[in-house]
Amino acid sequence: MNKISTPIFFLLAGAGVSASPLEGLQGWLATERDKRPPISEQEFAAAPLDKAAAEEAAKLLWEDRLEMLRETRAAEVAAKEVKVGEESMRYLTKVFGEKPEGGRSLYISMHGGGGGPPAMNDGQWRNQIRLYQPAEGIYLAPRAPTNTWNLWHQAHIDPLFDRLVQNLVACEGVDPDRVYLMGYSAGGDGVYQLAPRMSDRFAAAAMMAGHPNETSPLGLRNIPFALQVGALDAAYDRNKVAAEWGKKLGELRAADPGGYEHLYKLHEGKPHWMNLEDKIAVPWMAKFERRRFPDRVVWKQDDVTHGRLYWLALPEGQVKAGQLVVASRDGQVITVEKAEGTSAVTFLLNDEMLDLDRPVKVLAGGKPVFEGKATRRIAAIAKTLEERGDPGLVFSAGLTVKLD
């Protein structure tokens, strides 16, 4: 029954660990960063942890990463520009309200425009920073790295936004559970696509006057989603498509009341420009915090794919466009409801989700495919933190389960 293939970073690297895992970690952290050996190769990283040790290890690793980010990213933040690979993205900011004790909110607001000369998109960018005013938070308008029609949903946008959020969490005191995504026109196109495929990064999203192209609303299960369009905005059938999405989201919520929170509004008499009536989305979004460990995940891969979403991940070589994985949690039981396009799923786990001192059962196709304990390890904490640089999405254990 235990059809399990455990990734290397969860394996115990030999017997006879000479010091406690936390002592080993503290020694590793005391070494200069550029002289540290890979943590995945260290005995202490593979040794089992109890709950308290896992919590302390996560704290130490995050504090170390936070220090590194502040040292190495301050210049980027001062320049208001991020770069990943060959693409760079500039941005403008405005700050509103007093900083809350838990950190500032962040509103990433994507401009319109698209296929045209740089000057046109520069104008759209500089206009975007003037549009909305949250009661509190950093309102940020990024300048799209390209001038193509698909400004905001190309594959380079996801890592740029990840880096941007990491920088502002570390250097500007942003609360990672209060990051919001919004956009107008071509920026709305981006919201339609980025919100489902990056839903575990954001607290809520708001689409204004955009078009979804080929994407699906299924992945919006755990991210509140506002969509607004002018009733007269007939270009590319934006008004009709938004109405279809509003109806579909209503049906999805009726079938799954724990998810698909949404706001749909058709602005009567308004064309493509809604004269800022759409600003109602800003306070609506502000009501929500990110759902880090939802009890049900609907993961629909777009043409731009990801290796993990919330507490689900896919083994190397299993990631494909168009896949659909649906899984839910109830106590110690995980149920795989659908797994289209993959034969195995990795479950990322921590003590906020369930009791790792007790066995975990995984069901697929109505049958048990795994039952046993998932072991906490520093290697898992370090790997999941390194993958995202997100203190809210750190996991201390993982199970890769074959489904057939």
Q: Give the pLDDT confidence of 143-195 residue by residue, as tens digits.
A: 999 999 999 999 999 999 999 999 999 999 999 999 999 999 999 999 999 99
Mean pLDDT, rounded, for 292-311: 97
Sign of CA dihedral 49, 53, 54, 60: negative
What is the token pair recorded at 172?
């500007």
- Report residue 26: phi and psi, to 5°: -65, -40
* Residue 269 predicted with pLDDT over 60: yes
C-alpha 275 chain-centroid distance: 31
Predicted confidence at residue 18, as pLDDT, reads 52
Mean pLDDT, rounded, for 237-265: 98
What is the token pair recorded at 64?
């170390």
Predicted confidence at residue 2, as pLDDT, reads 44
Torsion, CA 203, CA 261, CA 266, CA 232, rounded to 10: 70
Give 68-100 pLDDT, tens digit per residue.
999 999 999 999 999 999 999 999 999 999 999
- Buried/exposed 286-306: b ≥16 CB within 10 Å, e otherwise: bebebbbbbebbbbbbbebee
Helix (H) or strand (E) holding 83: strand 81-84
- Report residue 314: phi and psi, to 5°: -120, 140
Predicted confidence at residue 362, as pLDDT, reads 98
- Beta strand pairing call for 87-96 and 137-142: antiparallel
Is domain 80-286 annotated with CATH 3.30.565.10?
A: no
Domain ranges of the chain: 1-65+292-404, 80-286
Give 4's pLDDT tier (boundaries 50, 70, 90): very low
Give 307-364 pLDDT, tens digit per residue.
999 999 999 889 999 999 999 999 999 999 999 999 999 999 999 999 999 999 999 9
Whole-model pTM over 0.85: yes
Give 55-73 pLDDT, tens digit per residue.
999 999 999 999 999 999 9
- For Cα atoms 369, 49, 42, give the angle at the middle one, nearest 5 degrees: 100
Q: Distances in Å between the alpha carbon of 87 and those of 59, 81, 111, 166, 199? A: 32, 11, 18, 17, 22
**Which residue from 121, 29, 47, 55 is spatially nearest to 396, judged by alpha carbons?**
55
Amino acid found at 397:
A
Averaged pLDDT of the chain? 94
Give 106-151 pLDDT, tens digit per residue.
999 999 999 999 999 999 999 999 999 999 999 999 999 999 999 9
